[in-house]
Amino acid sequence: MNFISTRGGEKVSGARAIVQGLSHNGGLFVPEKFPKVSAEELEAMLSMSYAERAAKVLYKYLDDYDEKDLLRACEEAYSRFDGDDPAPLVKLDDGVYVLELFHGPTCAFKDMALTLLPYLLRKGCDICGIKEDILILVATSGDTGKAALEGFRDAKGVKICVFYPNDGVSKMQKLQMCTQEGANVNVVAVKGNFDDCQTAVKNIFNSVECAAELKKRNYLLSSANSINFGRLAPQIAYYFSSYLDLVSCGQIEMGTPIDFCVPTGNFGNILAAYYAKRMGLPVRRLHCASNMNNVLTDFLAKGEYDARREFYKTTSPSMDILISSNLERLLFEISGRDAALTASRMEQLRTGKFYSVTKEEQADINETFDGGFANEEEVVETIYDVFCDTGYTMDTHTGCAMKVAVDWFEKNKKDTTNMVVVSTASPYKFPQDVLYAVTGNDVRDSFKGIKRLHAATAMAVPKSLATLRDKTVRFNVVVSPEKMFDEVLRFVSEK
């Protein structure tokens, strides 16, 4: 399978797409066509383990990798998750399920892909015959950074540098990153918000001068952000797996379409669901859930992407995003794969923070997608209501999605389609906010929050968060966006 750029001009292998991250003209790599999973193949996947299902889905795209080798890598990656199922499905009510994607090493759904990406990248370098060391640059709104650091720590021939918005991540997220162990890691706070971080990292990627400076030092740039197809591919797998779980538990018949409701920021997670649908998974609708930074809600309702708006810092920081990078891949598809049009829209977004799609394109999008959002009060109310009604505790990001799902059922009372709400983080990653939602109590300290939340919910505390308090803070550098590349050069020059 080959990969092409959403902005045209480039065609590369899967390995190359992953190693390179972004195409040379700034476009994102997409598969030349969507591989299909037949009804027989789906049936055969029923009896498989999560790792086996994941390897099957991955190999559909990455056929330049060895299938058995992929399977071994999946088994190894998902063995690092708590419990025996890396992506368990919890039934909340008739027709409403929660897909928990936070049982990995850093307690957020980013682990689903980032535990596997180091393998995909290393193997990709072998396949492409690349001899340089790899430098991974990551812009993070909180969770990607930690998951990438954990995934790549002490990986041979790789250095990783993570940038996060100084005031834009939760205390737990910051602590998780700044205490990261490993000899090949660097963590840098940036004066600005996530969009500033992401734009600056993209600029480094697109700069010929930066590439030359790094090449002098024997480094090749790559990305662990969700623009990398190596992030997207493992995410497609859990949509398949959760569907198969519903069938094996007798909740639905094979072939019955279901809905997913996804807490969305950069549009990577929900895009993976769309890819699963295009591959033949019986998916009806995809509900895109935002917080108050509801640029996607408006886009899905009006066909106009307008980032000229106030940026809010919310209790779901991983969704505090106004420029959703992965939407470019959807735009490419709904424009009939028109690379020139996609490039021009992305240019309008860059220069004027705005673009629109045609009425036909919007109708096309709305065949599958609709959007909604939750304000801060609604997140609290939703977490509280679900906790009272069912005893289930969810985090703030999942709270946004649950609110959108509840609204959907309010408006569509006769709808009997099963809904899977995707849960993207452990409640213990945002302990104070979740504690407040569940009990009305405010505590200042995150670890006190964890303790009280545990007392209130009796949910097990992930060990990686409980032990964080005793770790040493290793990183405290703060830079402005213009100085990010200087920091990169300093880091790669370290021995």
Ligand X SMILES: *Cc1c(COP(=O)(O)O)cnc(C)c1O
Give the catalytic positions in this structure. Answer: 110
Q: Which is nearer to ligand X, 108 or 155 (CB)?
A: 108
**CB proximity list for 198: less than 8 A, separation 6 or greater:** 139, 225, 323, 325
Q: Does 110 bind ligand X (CB under 6 A)?
A: yes
If phi over 0 gives left and psi between -120 and 50 gives alpha, with beta otherwise, what is residue 421?
Answer: beta
- Here the tokens at position 356 are 């629109």
Q: Which residues face 262 on adjacent strands? A: 288
Q: Does 223 bind ligand X (CB under 6 A)?
A: no
- Here the tokens at position 303 are 């066909």
Residues 470, 162: Cα–Cα separation, whole Å: 22
Angle at 213 between CA 209 and CA 214, to 5 degrees: 120
Taking the complex as a whole, the smallest distance from the CB of residue 299 to ligand X amounts, in Å, to 13
For the segment 238-257, give every residue that binds ligand X (CB under 6 A): none
Contacts of 362-368 with C-beta under 8 Å, sequence gap 24+, read 362/302, 362/303, 364/334, 365/300, 365/303, 365/330, 365/334, 366/300, 368/274, 368/277, 368/283, 368/285, 368/286
Q: Does 378 bind ligand X (CB under 6 A)?
A: no
From the list 102-110, 188-196, 236-244, 473-481, the region that binds ligand X by CB under 6 A is: 102-110
Task: Report in angstroms the alpha-carbon separations of 138 from 268, 330, 341, 483, 494.
Answer: 15, 22, 28, 15, 19
Binding-site member from 234, 263, 399, 462 for ligand X (CB under 6 A): 263
Q: Does 399 bind ligand X (CB under 6 A)?
A: no
* 8 A C-beta contact, residue 289 and residue 264: yes
From the list 25-33, 259-267, 305-313, 446-454, the region that binds ligand X by CB under 6 A is: 259-267
Q: Does 165 bind ligand X (CB under 6 A)?
A: no
Taking the complex as a whole, the smallest distance from the CB of residue 139 to ligand X amounts, in Å, to 11
Half-sphere exposure of 404 toward its Cβ, with a 13 Å CA cutoff? Answer: 34
From the list 38-46, 196-204, 258-266, 302-310, the region that binds ligand X by CB under 6 A is: 258-266
Binding-site member from 70, 77, 227, 319 for ligand X (CB under 6 A): 319
Q: Does 318 bind ligand X (CB under 6 A)?
A: yes
Q: Does 265 bind ligand X (CB under 6 A)?
A: yes
Binding-site member from 228, 241, 242, 266 for ligand X (CB under 6 A): 266
Of 51, 158, 172, give the one whose Cα is nearest residue 106.
172
Angle at 115 between CA 260 and CA 288, to 5 degrees: 20
Site string (178-217) toward ligand X, x via CB under 6 A:
----------------------------------------
Strands of 369-373's sheet, edge to edge?
A: 89-93, 96-100, 419-423, 258-263, 283-290, 369-373
From the list 24-32, 245-253, 260-268, 346-354, the region that binds ligand X by CB under 6 A is: 260-268
Binding-site member from 99, 116, 232, 425 for ligand X (CB under 6 A): 425
From the list 119-127, 174-182, 267-275, 449-457, the region that binds ligand X by CB under 6 A is: 267-275
Q: Which is nearer to ligand X, 421 or 492 (CB)?
A: 421
Binding-site member from 267, 299, 436, 485 for ligand X (CB under 6 A): 267
Q: How many residues bind ligand X (CB under 6 A)?
A: 17
Q: Does 424 bind ligand X (CB under 6 A)?
A: yes
User: Using CA atoms in the order 349, 424, 47, 51, what is the torsion angle rounded to 10 degrees?
Assistant: 80
Interaction site with ligand X (CB under 6 A) = 108-110, 143, 226, 263-269, 318-319, 397, 424-425
